[in-house]
Structure 1
Amino acid sequence: MNNVHTPLTDAPRRLFAGAAKVAPEMIVSSVPTQLLTAGDALDLIEAHWASDQDQPLGVASINLDHIHHFGEKGAWHGSLGKSMPWLNLIDGAPIAKKARRLTGTPWPRLAGSDLMGPILDRAQAGGIRVGFLGGAAPTLMKLRETAAVEWPHLTIAGTWAPPRQQIVDPAASRELAAEVREANVDLLVVCLGKPRQEAWIEANGAATGARVLLAFGAVVDFLAGEVSRAPQVIAEAGLEWAWRLAQEPSRLARRYLVQGPPAYLQLQRATLGGSFGHE
């Protein structure tokens, strides 16, 4: 596959127009990762769902697992950014540490599980219609119950728990995207796990009619209270991966212990790339 990455759209760029700062990006195994504060990332996401851009915006969390799948040695290398622009945010602690070493500036981890609450705060305030795609049906039901308490004025336009065979079948996926469009979703949270969620968004994002699509993995489990986050001291030490591995060893052992080390070696060759901002 060709390594093509669509630049960010003009609407997010305008947030930095005339500003004194420029948001650089780090290139990790050909994957561009934007270096942003949490506030700037949230502003970019909100600006896009409020814009009249023709293309939707995909948002991905960049960690070693992403590099494994979408980096230069990954099976999905070069598959993203052909049909829509992507905003790639630092997730893993190794990514954040490398960005700090390259720039001399500390950059925060912007994991989907951390951003989801503030994003839903803004969606509720702006009357944005939100949909959740992925996770088990009982989990999505619990998520609705939790959201009704935490965000009582948030409009959840729909939830979908598609089986794997529907996600990997192009025709079935088009039908699913049509269901999302019919529900008039503005912001779609896609939680199918890497690399399926990013691949599904790339192939079907525009057909859903959503303005922003978040590839946020297990965030439905966190919102529903099915999975607990690592204590802050563990997360700050860069050991959240070990916490999650201890919770779900059968599912995560291969990701962290087999696929992670080669991706970490690719990370060491990261460089600073282009910037977006005022011109």
Structure 2
Amino acid sequence: MSRHTPIVLPVTALRPRLSPVPAPPRPLGGGVSDIPVITIGGGPVHLVDDRQARRLIMDATHAPDLPPLAVCSINLDHVHHFARATDDFGPDAPVRWLNLIDGAPIARQAERLTGIAYPRLAGSDLIGGILTDAAAAGLSVGVLGGSSEVTRALREALAAGWPGARFGGHWTPSREALSDRAGCAAVAGEIRAQGVDILLVCLGKPRQERWIAQNGPQTGATALLAFGAVVDFLAGRVSRAPRWVSQAGVEWMWRLMLEPRRLARRYLVQGPPAYVAVRRSHSSPRGHEPST
């Protein structure tokens, strides 16, 4: 974490940006395999909007016999870590991956290739709506990652903002435990014992995606969301960028200003090569052709 003084964000500040639903959503009738996919930066990206993403997550919670749904955000940091890796984010993985457009460069490249402006779906923007859906369905939500110091704040945030959702627990294993197969298995077993339906995996890239791929099915959770800093947003330790900053596609500058020590390398050293990889993408999804 940064040594800078965090900016506290009230729980209620998360909610105006979202579109809550009054009742549990009904199944779409399709699954992740029915969503158009485009390859950007060497990996698959699903072309969905906010409503579709939330519905797919809720559908997963009603399909315990299927492999769990794993959701990750595709941005330049993701491309940096996974463009040349052997991780399987496709349909043959042990979990079903839903890969969401996150960063502005990913969204712009998707529009260049399809001619359609798909929305950015950052986990910090989606989480309020997802929790609203979870509360309406009476589901249990657990959190893996972050500091044990925020456990109380997480519990209070969930109770105050989404009283219908049950707080399933907060797990904060050490880096050593996360690097040990037996330690990870023990954590997964504890999560399963608590009956968690939706697990927020906030370990940072690439650890959170790889933890889900290796341990997700053992947790018993039907939806695992690799949402990084969401644990700190929910706990009120870090604020989202103002709307105009996000709309301008420069939220990375805002975060760099708040946490320069932690994020300088990511944005200033690792980011430019990943951006080049994104711009070199030429894949088109089913039913679309690249725009000219």
- What interval of TM-score do these two structures reach, taking the shorter chain for normalisation? 0.7 to 0.9
Q: 1:247 aligns with which of 240, 246, 258?
A: 258
Matched ranges for 1:53-72 at <5 A? 53-72=65-84
Distance in structure 1 (CA, Å) of the matches to 2:240 and 2:103: 14
Distance in structure 1 (CA, Å) of the matches to 2:255 and 2:218: 34
Distance in structure 2 (CA, Å) of the matches to 1:106 and 1:79: 27
| Deviations 1:133-160 (CA, angstroms, capped at 9, x unpaired) | 1000112321111221111221011111
Matched ranges for 1:29-48 at <5 A? 29-48=41-60
Name the counterpart of 2:87.
Answer: 78
Q: 1:262 aligns with which of 251, 273, 283?
A: 273
Query: How far is 1:77 from its partner?
Result: 3.4
Matching residue's letter, 1:222: F
Name the counterpart of 1:14.
Answer: 29
Name the counterpart of 1:226.
Answer: 237
5+ long unaligned stretches in structure 2: 1-26, 288-292
Kept in 2: contact 1:230–1:243 (CA 8 A)? yes
- 1:141 is the counterpart of 2:152: yes
Distance in structure 1 (CA, Å) of the matches to 2:40 and 2:244: 27
CA RMSD of aligned residues (A): 1.8
5+ long unaligned stretches in structure 1: 1-11
**Corresponding residue SS for 1:14:** coil
Kept in 2: contact 1:24–1:272 (CA 8 A)? no
Question: TM-score w.r.t. structure 1 length?
Answer: 0.88
| Deviations 1:87-132 (CA, angstroms, capped at 9, x unpaired) | 0000101101111111111111000000100000000111111111
Kept in 2: contact 1:25–1:35 (CA 8 A)? yes
Name the counterpart of 2:127.
Answer: 116
- 1:128 is the counterpart of 2:143: no
- 1:185 is the counterpart of 2:234: no
Matching residue's letter, 1:146: A
Percent identity of paired positions between Structure 1 and Structure 2: 51
Distance in structure 2 (CA, Å) of the matches to 1:69 and 1:92: 15
Q: Relative to structure 2, which stretch is displaced further, 113-122 or 139-148?
A: 139-148
Matching residue's letter, 1:138: E
Matching residue's letter, 2:110: A
Distance in structure 2 (CA, Å) of the matches to 1:140 and 1:113: 18
Aligned positions, number: 258
Distance in structure 2 (CA, Å) of the matches to 1:50 and 1:33: 24
Distance in structure 2 (CA, Å) of the matches to 1:149 and 1:186: 20
Kept in 2: contact 1:29–1:266 (CA 8 A)? yes
Name the counterpart of 2:174.
Answer: 163
**Corresponding residue SS for 1:101:** helix
Query: How far is 1:79 from its partner?
Result: 4.3
Distance in structure 2 (CA, Å) of the matches to 1:141 and 1:203: 28
**Corresponding residue SS for 1:138:** helix
Matching residue's letter, 2:87: G
